[in-house]
Amino acid sequence: MIRFSAFLFYLSIQLIGKTLRFNPGWKEEFERAKEGKNAIFAVWHQASFALLYLYGSSHAVLLVTAEKRGKILGECAKRLGFQTVPIPTPKENFESVAGLASLLELIKEGKDVVIAVDGPGGPLFEIKPGVFYLSEKAKIPIIPVAVKAPFKITLFWRWDKYFIPLPFSRVGVRIGKAIWPHQGGAGNLARKLTQLSR
């Protein structure tokens, strides 16, 4: 059931993603923001659909949970080209996660990391501290990424109000300047993501 659901999700990302019209130059914006290094790309959970399509082929690392929804996402992400690493449950500290050592090793190899910073279970737009712990530990910056989709389907019953851009619609991907944990923490990152999303 998990593999089948993951395949359907993968198929929807691929089929819809191929029809979307992204703003020109988004790839160059990613590279400029990284300044020749690898980085942590921070996105709101609700806006991750387009980023899964765009960034999968880069072999970046995606953090996923061990529960059913996380396993479906993990299987889908692997098909898209991501490497996956488990993230902590609400009862665990980020530094206690078994996958942390392997995640840091992948970062040392030059991999980028994609994190939905208010996930995996919300509250919506409330940034979890794990992104700052990882940035500090790995010594790589956090780059805020926002996705704007004027024409979309929003899943209002979900905590994250997850949205899927409508096929053939325009999608804006906006990338902010790199920030570090000491530069305002969660408040600063949340402001950056909000500004980019407008």
| Mean pLDDT, rounded, for 110-136 | 90
Q: Give the total number of structural domains in the chain.
A: 1
| Mean pLDDT, rounded, for 53-67 | 83
pTM: 0.91
Kindly report, residue by residue over 152-180, the tens digit of the pLDDT. Answer: 999 999 999 999 999 999 999 999 999 99
Domain that holds residue 63: 2-197
* Gap between the Cα atoms of 188 and 181, Å rounded: 9
Polymer length in residues for the chain: 198
Report whether 153 contacts 164 (CB < 8 A). Answer: yes
Kindly report, residue by residue over 7-45, the tens digit of the pLDDT. Answer: 999 999 999 999 999 998 888 888 888 888 899 999 999
- pLDDT at 90 exceeding the cut of 60: no
Q: Tell me, what CATH number does 132's domain have?
A: 3.40.1130.10
